[in-house]
Amino acid sequence: MPDLINTENIISRKVLFNGIFLLIGCFTLILIPWFRIFSISISNADYVTIYFLVSRILCWCILGIIFIYVRKKEKQNILLWSETEYSIGTHVAFFFIMLLVLFTGLAVIHLILNLMHLASESSQMAMLKYIFKNYKLLVPVTTITAGVTEELIFRGYLMPRLELLYNNKYVTVIVSSLLFGMIHIGYGTVINVVATAFIGFIFALHYQKYRNIGFLIFFHFIWDTMAAYVLLRNG
């Protein structure tokens, strides 16, 4: 069991489950209108852009709700695992190793799904490309939001609580990765969910072993920035 920041207050299983269900419920409320909104044609893309911006704001609201929940109900900090400090050189090594792992793994996933005819671009991704191309300020808004909120929620908040519930690091990594992949189902294709779940799996393994959420926030931001650049360049 990893070191906890605060062991004076034992969190009950009911409180842990309720927090996780609260998290799933919050993201579900964002995803329900997502499919309907993204079915709007490019000619009405301003409506989609507004909802997309609102959804980024809602991600920060969900993080705020989780912060309040852990303080009021758990009597804990959102990060239960103590942060481990590393040298700049170590972080640089982490950065390039993770890039190599992700590029290799995603290339294999794309090849397999392409052979299965499951790697086509969705209308949602085409709309996202249009939004980023015409509202470039939304690119940093999106990448910063994803880097901070998703890492604090799915790695920082979720993983330690799953491990408290199941006392199994493998269940922790797998479940958090699957949930991370599922919140991206709104982008419309199998490859978006599978690729994101794989990314979440690698991030979860890193956090499980090295206990540094700051690095993951930074890497996630850089990764999404590169992905947005590739998306725009291919447009």
Cα–Cα distance, 43 to 109 (Å, whole number)? 33
The residue ranges of every structural domain in the chain are 13-233
Asked whether the predicted pLDDT for residue 45 surpasses 80, the reply is no
Backbone torsions φ then ψ of 221, nearest 5 degrees: -60, -45
Mean pLDDT computed over 69-74: 95
Both tokens of 181, joined, read 């992949």
Asked whether the predicted pLDDT for residue 216 surpasses 70, the reply is yes
Residues in the chain, overall count: 235
Asked whether the predicted pLDDT for residue 35 surpasses 80, the reply is no
Asked whether the predicted pLDDT for residue 82 surpasses 90, the reply is yes
Amino acid at the residue 14: K
**Pick from 63-77, 128-142, 205-219: least confident:** 128-142
pLDDT confidence band for 7 (50 / 70 / 90): very low
Mean pLDDT rounded to a whole number for the chain: 89
Mean pLDDT computed over 34-61: 75
Longest dimension (CA), the chain: 57
- Percentage of residues in the chain with pLDDT exceeding 90? 68
The pLDDT of residue 32:
72
**Number of C-beta neighbours around residue 185 at 10 A:** 16
The pLDDT of residue 185:
85
Cα–Cα distance, 7 to 219 (Å, whole number)? 30
Contact 76, 160 (CB under 8 A): no
28 alpha-carbon distance from chain centroid? 14
**Those residues with Cβ within 8 angstroms of residue 69's Cβ, 6 or more apart along the chain or in another chain:** 19, 22
The pLDDT of residue 8:
44
Asked whether the predicted pLDDT for residue 41 surpasses 80, the reply is no
For the chain, give the secondary structure using H, E and C. CCCECCCCCCCCHHHHHHHHHHHHHHHHHHHHHHHHHHCCCHHHHHHHHHHHHHHHHHHHHHHHHHHHHHHHHHCCCCCCECCCCCCHHHHHHHHHHHHHHHHHHHHHHHHHHHHCCCCCCCHHHHHHHHHHHHCCCHHHHHHHHHHHHHHHHHHHHHHHHHHHHHCCHHHHHHHHHHHHHHCCHHHCCHHHHHHHHHHHHHHHHHHHHHCCHHHHHHHHHHHHHHHHHHHHHCC
Cα–Cα distance, 226 to 199 (Å, whole number)? 14
Asked whether the predicted pLDDT for residue 119 surpasses 60, the reply is yes
pLDDT confidence band for 34 (50 / 70 / 90): low
Asked whether the predicted pLDDT for residue 174 surpasses 50, the reply is yes
pLDDT confidence band for 128 (50 / 70 / 90): confident
Backbone torsions φ then ψ of 4, nearest 5 degrees: -105, 150
